[in-house]
A and B are shown apart, each in its own frame.
Chain A
Amino acid sequence: MKGYRRQDGRKGIRNHLIVAYLVECAHHVAREIVLPYRDRGAHLIGFAGCYPNAYAERVMARLATHANVGAVLLVSLGCESFNRRDLAEAVRRSGRPVRTLVLQEDGGTRAVVAAGRAWLEETLAVLHDMPRTDLDLSDLVVGTICGGSDATSGLTANPVIGKTFDWLVDRRATAIFEETNELLGCERHLASRAITPELGAELAAAVLKAERYHRVLGHGSFAWGNAEGGLTTQEEKSLGAYAKSGSRPVCGLLKPGDLPPRGGLYLLDVVPDGEVRFGFPNISDNTEAADLMACGAQMILFSTGRGSVVGSAIAPVVKVCANPQTYRRMAEDMDVDAGRILEDRGTLDEVTAELIDRVLRTADGEPTASEALLHQEFLLPYKSFEPLGPSCLPGSPAHGGQVG
C-alpha cells in the first residue's frame, strides 16, 4: 500500500484539498469554488455557526491538518467569530499550503470565487505531483459508524465489521468505534474489556452519560426506520451496534480531537459533557464521521441495513450493506454485500475477508462507491467537551494533545 507522508509522521490515504467555510454566510462561495474540482480531490467542509465554540475550532483544526488533507483554503465572511488566523497558522505549521480569502476584504462573491478557483488550479497540480510512500497497517486509523440500521445490521454487517476490527487491531492498526448512546445495556460488558479497571469505569460512565443526555432530550437514538426493520428497543439495537467493536480489549477512551497514541481499539465519546445545551448531539451520521476524522480516522466502515447513500468529505466511506433486499435496490451505493449471509450465499468469515480486502484496496487509493458518486457529506454541530480524564489513555504520558 502507498500513502502520503505528512510532516508530523502520520500518513494519509488520500491527498485532498479542502475548502472550509468558517460561517454559513461563506458557505455558498466556498461551494462555488469547489464545484468544478470535486472529481479532482477538492472537498468542502465548514462550520455554520457565527458564535464562538471551542469544540468546533478544535475539530476544524484537526480536520484541516488531517492526514488525508494536503492543502487548505479558508473562506471567511470576515465578521464571524471563528478565529481564522489561528486556524491558518495551525495549517501553515503543519507544512501544508494554506490560503485565506475574506469576502468583506477581497471583493465579494465573484472576486473570491475567481481567486479561490485560481488557487485550487495551482494547488491541485502540486498535490497531484506529490510522491506516495509506503503505507503499513500500523499507519491506518479506521473508524466505524452505523446508519439506517435495521435488524439485519446486527446480524451481518456489524459482526463482519467487528471481525475486521479484530483483524486490524491484531496487526497494530488503530480502530475506533463510537455511538455511546447506542451502547446502553452493553456498558458492563464493555467495561470488562478495558485494559485497566479505571478505564473500564470511564467507558461505562461514557455510556451512562449518553443515557442521561438522551433521557433529558426525551428519547434515544431510536428512529422509526429501526422499528419498521424489526428492532424494538434501544438495548436491542445497542447489542447489534456493539457487535461492530469486535472482541479485542479496549485500550482507550477518546473525545473528538484526541489522537490515539498508538494502535489498538478505542471508544470515541461523541456525546457532549455537562448540561444539555445544544440539543440532540449527533443530528446525523455525518456528525459522527466528523468526530471520528477529528481523531484521525482516515477511513470509515459504514454499516447500513435500510440503505444509506452517504459518503464523507476527507475520509473514504466503505459501505457494508447488511440487508440483501436493500443491496439489490441500491447496489451502486454499496461496497460490500454482507446481507448475502442471510441468503446462504456466503459465511461471516467469507464476507469478513471481502471487507478486509476492500479496506486494503481503499487504503491504497481505490475509490469507494460513495467516492465514485462524488459524495462528500459533512456536518459539524455545536457541542462542548471537557478534557479527557487521567484514566482514559492508560500508559500514555500525555493524552491526545492539543491542536498545533
Chain B
Amino acid sequence: MEMLNSAAAGAFRGRLLRLAPTDNIAVATAALAAGQAARLDDVEITLLDDIPLGHKVAVAAIAAGGQVLKYGCPIGSATCPIRAGQHVHVHNLKSDYFPTFTSQHPALAGKEPPA
C-alpha cells in the first residue's frame, strides 16, 4: 500500500492521475471535455470522450479481453477494443469477479458496447 499512497501523493498536479506506472488508464481529477489534450507525464492524450471527474480514460490501446490496470492491479477486462483517449467504464469494462450491477439506469444511456 505504500506504493499506492505515495503514487497518490505525488501525482495530483495534472488533470489526469495515473496511480501506478503500469496502469493503462488514468483518472480525471477534473471534468474534461472530448477534444481536449490532457498531459500525463511526458505524453499528451487527446480525449475522445467527455471524462467526468473521477472517471477513467484509457492512456494506451487495450485489446478486447485485455486487463484494465489501476493501482497496478487488474480491475476487470475490456469487453471491446478500447483506444487511448476513450472513456473506460461500464460500457467497455466488465468485472472478473461479479457482473457489474447494470439495470437500465439513465446514467448508462448511450453507453452500450458497440455491436
Q: In whole angstroms, what is the CA distance A228 to B105 when docked?
A: 10
Q: A230-B89, A232-B90 are in contact. Are A219 and B70 (CB under 8 A)?
A: no
Q: Are A163 and B5 in contact (CB under 8 A)?
A: yes
Instruction: Check A349 for interface membership: any CB of B closer than 8 A.
Output: yes
- Residues B51-73 near A (CB distance < 8 A): 52-56, 70-71, 73
> What is the minimal beta-carbon distance from A320 to any residue of chain B, in angstroms?
14
Query: A125–B94 Cα gap in the complex (Å)?
Result: 58
- Of A239, A305, A349, most buried by chain B (CB within 10 Å of CB) is A239
Give the residues in chain A near B45, CB-CB below 8 Å.
Answer: none
Q: Which residues of A contact B17 (CB under 8 A)?
A: 155
A185 within 8 A of B: yes
Which single residue of chain B is at the shortest CB-CB distance from A219?
B101
Chain A residues lying within 8 Å of B2, measured Cβ to Cβ, are 247
In the assembled complex, which residues on chain B have CB atoms less than 8 Å from the CB atom of A349? 9
Query: Are A162 and B107 interface neighbours, CB within 8 A?
Result: no
Interface residues of B in 24-74 (CB under 8 A from A): 27-30, 52-56, 70-71, 73-74
The interface residues of chain B lying within 8 Å CB-to-CB of A224 are: 101, 103, 105, 107
A214 within 8 A of B: yes
Q: How far is the CA of A240 from the CA of B19 in the complex (A)?
A: 11
Q: Is A284 part of the contact surface with B, judged by Cβ < 8 Å? A: no
With A220-B101, A243-B4: A227-B90 Cβ-Cβ less than 8 Å: yes
Is A229 part of the binding interface, using a Cβ–Cβ cutoff of 8 Å?
A: yes
Given the known inter-chain contacts A224-B107, A234-B98, A235-B75, please indicate yes or no for A229 contacting B8, CB distance below 8 A: no
Closest to B51 in A: A230
Chain A: number of interface residues, binned into ranges: 35 or more
Contact among B5, B56, B96 for A230, CB-based, below 8 A: B56
Q: Roughly how many angstroms separate A185 CA and B72 CA in the complex, as a whole number?
A: 12
Chain A residues, Cβ within 8 Å of B73 = 185-186, 235, 239
Q: Mark B92-115, 1 if CB is under 8 A from A, else 0.
A: 011111101101010110000000
B101 touches A242 (CB 8 A): no
Chain A residues with CB under 8 Å of B95's CB are 220, 232-235
Residue A174 CB within 8 A of the other chain: no
Assembly CA distance A185 to B89 (angstroms): 18
Q: Roughly how many angstroms separate A325 CA and B70 CA in the complex, as a whole number?
A: 23
Identify B100's interface contact among A184, A232, A247, A342, CB under 8 A: A232
Question: Do residues A236 and B54 form an inter-chain contact, with CB atoms below 8 A?
Answer: no
Q: Is A211 an interface residue (CB 8 A)?
A: yes
8 contacts between A and B (CB under 8 A): A155-B17, A185-B74, A215-B98, A232-B75, A234-B95, A234-B100, A235-B74, A242-B1
Q: Interface on A for B, CB 8 Å cutoff?
A: 150-152, 154-156, 159, 162-163, 184-186, 211, 214-215, 219-220, 222-224, 227-236, 239-240, 242-243, 245-247, 305, 323, 325, 341-342, 344, 347-349
Q: Which 8 A-B pairs have the closest CB atoms?
A: A151-B54, A236-B75, A230-B55, A233-B95, A230-B54, A247-B1, A233-B76, A348-B9
